[in-house]
C-alpha cells in the first residue's frame, strides 16, 4: 500500500463523523483534488474504486419524507471493492480513510456509512461493474458549525468519542517501554473511526515491527476488515508524524498485515 502523504496527521485529530450539512455545493477545485487523489488509488490489485459524486447525495442519504441519517449534503464519495475479499476490504478502509482525511483538510465534513444510506439508489447512480461491490459511502460537504441535537444523540448512542485504552489494544507490548514513534503511531491508530465504534483491531509488537489482527470474536462483524484498513492508515500517518516511514506487508494468519519501517527511517526523530 502507498505511504500516506505528509500532512494528514492534524486531520486525524480533527475528523469526526458529521451528519448535518449546509445545502451548499462543494467548491469545484476541492472535488477535483479529491478526484485526482482517488485516481492514485487505482493502481494496485485487488482493485478498489472511489467515485466522487459532485451531486446526488440527497438520493443516498435522505428518504422521501426528508428524514435521513445525513441531511443537506449535495456531494458524496462511494467506496467500491472488486470482489469483496479481506484484502480489498482492507484497501477500501486504508484508501477510503485517506480520502476522508484529505476532505477533512479541505474543510469538508464526512461520515463513513456502510448501513444507513439508500443502497439501491446508490447502486443505480454508480453503475457497478461485474464483480464490484459498494462497501461504503460518505457525504461530502460543509457541515453545520455546531452539531445538531440529532447528531449529538447518535454520537452518544454509539459512544463515538470513546476509544479503548492503548493497553487493551496491544498484546505482548509494554506501552511504557516502546519507542516514541510506535506510541504515536498506535495512538493515531487508536483514534481511528470504525463501524458502530467497535474498534475491532488489536496490535502485537515484534521488535520494531507491529502486526495487526482482529479482536477475538470480531471476524463476523460487517465492517471489521474495513475498520482495520482505516486503523492501518492511521498507524502509518502517526509513524510518519514521528519520523518513521514504512509499509504494511503481508503477515501470517491470524495477522492481517505487518508494518515494516524503512531501513533508513528509524531513529531520525521528528523530521
Ligand atoms: C466502516 C464504517 C462504517 C460506518 N457506518 C455508519 C453508518 O452506516 N451510519 C452512521 O451513522 N455511521 C456510520 N459510521 C460512523 C461510526 O459510527 C463512527 O465513525 C464512530 O462512532 C466513531 O465516531 P467518529 O467518527 O465521530 O470518531 C461508520 C464508520 C465506519 C468506519
State which of 90, 113, 139 you would mutate to test the pocket of ligand 1, scoring each by most atoms of that ligand within 8 A of its C-beta: 113
Q: Return the C-alpha cell found at 103.
A: 476532505
Do the Cβ atoms of 230 and 180 come closer than 8 Å?
no
**85-94 mean pLDDT:** 94
Is the same domain home to 170 and 252?
A: yes
Is the same domain home to 141 and 231?
A: no
* Residues written for the chain: 271
Is the same domain home to 23 and 149?
A: yes
Residue 35 lies in a domain: yes
What is the rounded average pLDDT for all residues in the chain?
Answer: 91
**In the structure, what pLDDT confidence band is assigned to residue 46 with cuts at 50, 70 and 90?**
confident
The pLDDT of residue 65: 62
Is the same domain home to 154 and 170?
A: no
The pLDDT of residue 64: 62
Residue 8 lies in a domain: no
Residue 268 has pLDDT above 50, yes or no: no
Is the same domain home to 124 and 184?
A: no
Residue 271 lies in a domain: no
Residues spanned by the domain of 56: 17-158
**69-79 mean pLDDT:** 95
Residue 105 lies in a domain: yes
The pLDDT tens digits of the residues spanning 176-231 come to: 889 999 999 999 999 999 999 999 999 999 888 999 999 987 666 789 999 999 99
Atom 12, ligand 1: which residue's CA is nearest? 113
Do the Cβ atoms of 90 and 80 come closer than 8 Å?
no
Residue 11 lies in a domain: no
Supply the DSSP symbol for 265: G
Ligand 1 atom nearest to 191, measured from its CA: 27
Domain boundary among 158, 193, 211: 158
* Alpha carbons 108 and 35: distance in angstroms, whole number: 14
**136-163 mean pLDDT:** 90
Is the same domain home to 135 and 26?
A: yes
What does the radius of gyration of the chain's CA atoms come to, in whole angstroms? 18
Residues 6+ apart with CB under 8 A from 61: 68, 69, 70, 71, 73, 76, 113, 117, 118, 139
* Alpha carbons 223 and 235: distance in angstroms, whole number: 18
Residue 270 lies in a domain: no
Domain boundary among 124, 158, 192: 158
Residue 179 lies in a domain: yes
3-class SS of residue 76: strand
**In the structure, what pLDDT confidence band is assigned to residue 271 with cuts at 50, 70 and 90?**
very low
Q: Is 172 left (phi over 0), alpha (psi -120 to 50) or beta?
A: left
Residue 266 has pLDDT above 90, yes or no: no
What's the CATH number where 172 sits?
3.40.109.30
**In the structure, what pLDDT confidence band is assigned to residue 168 with cuts at 50, 70 and 90?**
very high
Please give the residue that has the higher pLDDT: either 149 or 241.
241
> Residue 204 pairs with which residues in a beta bridge?
171, 211
Q: Return the C-alpha cell found at 207.
A: 521488535
Is the same domain home to 74 and 188?
A: no
* Alpha carbons 47 and 31: distance in angstroms, whole number: 22
Is the same domain home to 230 and 192?
A: yes
User: What are the strands of the beta sheet with 246-249, ordered from one edge?
Assistant: 170-171, 201-206, 209-214, 255-261, 246-249
3-class SS of residue 241: helix
**In the structure, what pLDDT confidence band is assigned to residue 118 with cuts at 50, 70 and 90?**
very high
Strands, DSSP E only, in 56-150? 75-82, 132-140
State which of 99, 114, 218 you would mutate to test the pocket of ligand 1, scoring each by most atoms of that ligand within 8 A of its C-beta: 114
Residue 8 has pLDDT above 80, yes or no: yes
Query: Does residue 160's CB lie within 6 angstroms of at least one atom of ligand 1?
Result: yes
Residue 140 lies in a domain: yes
Ligand 1 atom nearest to 223, measured from its CA: 1
Do the Cβ atoms of 87 and 222 come closer than 8 Å?
no
The pLDDT of residue 62: 83
Q: Return the C-alpha cell found at 159.
A: 459512544
Is the same domain home to 26 and 132?
A: yes
- Of 3-17, 57-71, 139-153, 232-246, the poorest mean pLDDT is in 57-71
Give φ, ψ of 158 to 5 degrees: -80, -10
State which of 148, 193, 201, 214 you would mutate to test the pocket of ligand 1, scoring each by most atoms of that ligand within 8 A of its C-beta: 193
What's the CATH number where 47 sits?
3.40.109.10
Give φ, ψ of 264 to 5 degrees: -85, -5
Is the same domain home to 250 and 199?
A: yes
Is the same domain home to 32 and 127?
A: yes
The pLDDT of residue 67: 61
The pLDDT of residue 269: 38
Other beta carbons within 10 angstroms of residue 127's beta carbon come to 8
**170-176 mean pLDDT:** 86
What domain count does the chain have? 2
3-class SS of residue 226: helix
Query: Does residue 111's CB lie within 6 angstroms of at least one atom of ligand 1?
Result: yes
The pLDDT of residue 211: 97
The pLDDT of residue 154: 87
The pLDDT of residue 66: 56
**97-107 mean pLDDT:** 98
Is the same domain home to 151 and 208?
A: no
* Alpha carbons 106 and 103: distance in angstroms, whole number: 5
CA 135 to ligand 1 centroid distance, Å: 13
Query: Does residue 109's CB lie within 6 angstroms of at least one atom of ligand 1?
Result: no
**In the structure, what pLDDT confidence band is assigned to residue 159 with cuts at 50, 70 and 90?**
confident
Domain boundary among 158, 186, 201: 158
Amino acid at each position: 500500500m502507498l505511504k500516506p502523504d505528509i500532512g494528514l496527521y492534524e486531520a486525524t485529530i480533527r475528523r469526526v463523523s458529521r451528519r448535518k450539512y449546509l445545502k451548499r455545493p462543494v467548491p469545484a477545485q476541492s472535488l477535483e483534488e479529491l478526484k485526482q487523489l482517488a485516481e492514485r488509488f487505482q493502481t494496485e490489485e485487488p482493485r478498489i474504486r472511489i467515485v466522487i459524486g459532485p451531486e446526488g447525495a440527497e438520493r443516498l442519504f435522505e428518504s422521501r419524507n426528508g428524514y435521513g441519517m445525513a441531511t443537506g449534503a449535495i456531494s458524496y464519495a462511494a467506496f467500491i471493492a472488486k470482489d469483496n475479499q479481506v484484502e480489498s476490504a482492507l484497501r477500501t478502509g486504508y484508501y477510503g480513510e485517506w480520502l476522508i482525511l484529505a476532505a477533512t483538510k479541505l474543510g469538508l465534513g464526512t461520515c463513513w456509512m456502510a448501513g444507513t444510506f439508500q443502497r439501491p439508489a446508490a447502486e443505480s447512480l454508480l453503475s457497478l461493474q461485474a464483480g464490484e461491490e459498494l462497501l461504503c459511502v460518505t457525504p461530502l460537504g460543509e457541515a453545520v458549525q455546531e452539531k445538531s441535537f440529532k447528531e449529538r444523540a447518535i454520537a452518544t448512542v454509539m459512544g463515538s468519542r470513546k476509544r479503548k485504552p492503548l493497553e487493551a489494544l496491544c498484546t505482548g507490548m509494554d506501552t511504557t517501554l516502546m519507542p516514541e514513534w510506535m506510541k504515536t503511531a498506535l495512538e493515531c491508530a487508536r483514534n481511528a473511526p470504525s463501524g458502530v465504534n467497535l474498534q475491532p483491531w488489536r496490535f502485537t509488537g515484534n521488535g520494531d515491527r507491529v502486526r495487526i489482527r482482529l479482536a477475538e470474536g470480531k471476524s463476523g462483524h460487517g465492517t471489521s476488515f474495513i475498520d482495520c484498513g482505516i486503523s492501518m492508515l492511521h498507524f502509518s500517518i502517526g509513524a510518519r508524524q514521528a519520523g518513521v516511514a514504512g509499509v504494511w506487508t503481508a503477515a501470517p494468519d491470524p495477522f492481517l498485515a505487518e508494518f515494516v519501517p524503512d531501513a533508513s527511517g528509524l531513529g531520525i526523530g521528528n523530521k
